[in-house]
Chain A
């Protein structure tokens, strides 16, 4: 009896509001579609815009890098590369070191008595990049001074860290030659190739002058 009453009430409500069912279902479905389809689409749209901006930026950087590299004259680049590589080699090059010492000794009329040095493991990235050589030489103070001066213009670059002149006629000279390792890395797509700074260009000029035999 009670169930029948509820059924009748429901029927009554249905007949009273049945026109509302369709719009309500449509609104409900639309809301679900909006949440599940349109909102992700909006999210995708913004991420696409970001990606587009990033790609445009990358393209600009690549174009700039390409332009910069293309504009650099090949010949000048090769000359600079050889110059820099001989001034500061990647590997510890004993032959280049001995050649420089002999050449400088010959130019400054210094008599080399004996010298010894340890090369260590060649091309090892983790090993020390400095080779120390103790040179025993014969010559007066002026000659020794010239030798040290000329050595500083020689390649590979060196640094005389200690001098022990005895009786103004012989000396022991400690020379350090540098060969820091070079880690080759690929060009980053997001990184603009930096141009050489004024300091870099001055250093190149200085190295060039030294290579051509001018101390200045």
Chain B
């Protein structure tokens, strides 16, 4: 009889592998089961966190408290809405009074204003005097205003006329305000 023939060995090895694999499968199944059940339970407990409802409650309380101050809030919002608009109006409005004052400041004593017309950043003005020298002084002063760029941006001398009957001279000019 040939003693090298082994009829059982292969079967035992095969059964050993299968058993180990089965054990592995069982472990994996148990781990899966525990993981699924555990994580589901844990997440359920976490989502039952009462802090959200507590925060919502506090929020509602705060809203109720604020509703008692509604009048004050409305007034505050009104002030907040109006103030920038007021600031803008104050900053952008024309200062015709100071423009007239600046022109008056440049007038020599014997020169008088006859007409002033100011609209849309343009000015036209007529002055009169019985002295041509004074009119010249006024004109020089006005020219300085253009050069200094304080009031006027541009100035055009329109007419100089003489009235022989009442012996005075009239000067009129147009200009663009800054």
- Chain A residues with CB under 8 Å of chain B are 19-20, 22-24, 26-27, 30-31, 33-34, 37-38, 41-42, 44-45, 48, 51-52, 55-56, 58-59, 62-63, 65-66, 69-70, 72, 74, 77-78, 80-81, 84-85, 87-88, 141-142, 144-146, 148-149, 152, 157, 159-168, 174, 178, 180, 182, 184-185, 187, 189, 193-194, 196, 199-200, 203-204, 206-207
Contact = CB atoms under 8 A, between A and B. Distances in A.
A66 B69 CA distance: 8
Contacts, number: 200
A168 B46 CA distance: 86
Contacts of A152: 93, 95, 97
**SS class of chain B's interface: helix, strand, loop or mixed?**
helix
A148 B29 contact: no
Contacts of B116: 141, 163-165
Nearest to A17: B18
Interface string B78-96: 1111111111011001111
Interface string B41-76: 001101101011001101100110110010011111
Contacts of A162: 118-120
Given A27-B32, A74-B72, 19 more contacts: A20-B22, A23-B29, A33-B40, A41-B43, A44-B43, A45-B43, A55-B56, A58-B59, A59-B58, A62-B62, A87-B82, A152-B97, A162-B120, A167-B114, A178-B85, A194-B80, A196-B83, A199-B83, A203-B83
A190 to B, nearest CB: 12
A163 B112 contact: no
Contact of B47 (A19, A41, A184): A41
Interface centre among B40, B80, B83, B94 (most CB of A within 10 A): B83
5 contacts: A34-B36, A52-B49, A148-B96, A163-B119, A184-B78
A74 B76 CA distance: 10
B25 interface: yes
Contacts of B25: 20, 23-24, 27
